[in-house]
Structures are given as C-alpha cells and as structure tokens.
Amino acid sequence: RKYNSDSNVTGESKEEPQVIIGTSAHSVDTALSTWKKYKPDYFFVGTCYLTKSHPEKNASDLEGPTLPGIVRRRLHDERKVEDSHNVPHVFAIGGIDDENCHEPVVKYGADGVAVIRAVMQSSEPRQTVLEMKEQMQ
C-alpha cells in the first residue's frame, strides 16, 4: 500500500500498525494494576528459579514457579468482571531450563516460558527448544 501524509492513495482504510506490548510483573497486585491501566498483550512473571541474570536473589527472594499460573488465573477472573479486553498471555521467566520448564506450565498453569541462557548456551539450541516444548505439552 502507498500512502501520502494525510490519506491513502489506494482508497483503502489506513490501518494502525500491528504491535505487541508486554511487561514484567513480580506480584499478582502489580500484574492486575498494570493490566487495568495499560492492557499489555503479555506478562513475563518471575523470577521463578535461581538465575545468573539476577545474582542478587537467593532462593528465599524468588517469586517461584507457581506465581505465573496464579497471575494468569487472576487475570482471567478479572476479565470476567470487566470483560473489556483480551487476557494477556503469562510467561514464566527466570532460571528456566530443560529440567524445570514444565513446572510453571504443566503443573501451575502459565501459558509458556521465556528462556535465554538454557537455549543460547546449548550446543544444540534448536533441539533444546524442541525438547522443552515437548515437556510443556
């Protein structure tokens, strides 16, 4: 499509660009207030496990693998009350690897996981992702 600065040349309606907006949350309250105000498309929720990305956190500081599922359920409950916007996807983040990726999703109800180190440091990144995906089904 070709557009000039004020209107389109082809006569088609000018569409807003597709964007996806996401943010992180470390508590249910933060996720709910952020969703009500900004309506993000997704949340990264955690830190679920110990990770080198947050070396200042010890085991007692972690939000844990249950929080993403709890946030997801609360957002779904809130949507039923407000019915004003699609519920965002909730992804577990922080220390996710091939041994624990199933917990936040299968056991606790997160929509998926966000992973960096376990994939990027793997000698077979594609295979690692496929194996993790299989464990989460």
For 3-40, what is each residue's pLDDT tens digit?
Answer: 344 444 455 556 777 899 999 999 999 999 999 899 99
Give the amino acid at 93. Answer: I
pLDDT of residue 2 exceeding 50, the answer is no
pLDDT per position as a tens digit, 54-87: 899 999 999 999 999 999 999 999 877 665 567 8
CA angle 14, 83, 32 (to 5 degrees): 100
Mean pLDDT score, 86-104: 95
Q: Are the C-beta atoms of 85 and 104 separated by less than 8 Å?
A: no
Q: Is 22 left (phi over 0), alpha (psi -120 to 50) or beta?
A: beta
- pLDDT for the residue 79: 78
Contacts of 40 (CB under 8 A, 6+ apart): 21, 22, 23, 34, 88
CA atoms within 13 A on the CB side of 83: 2
Confidence (pTM): 0.84
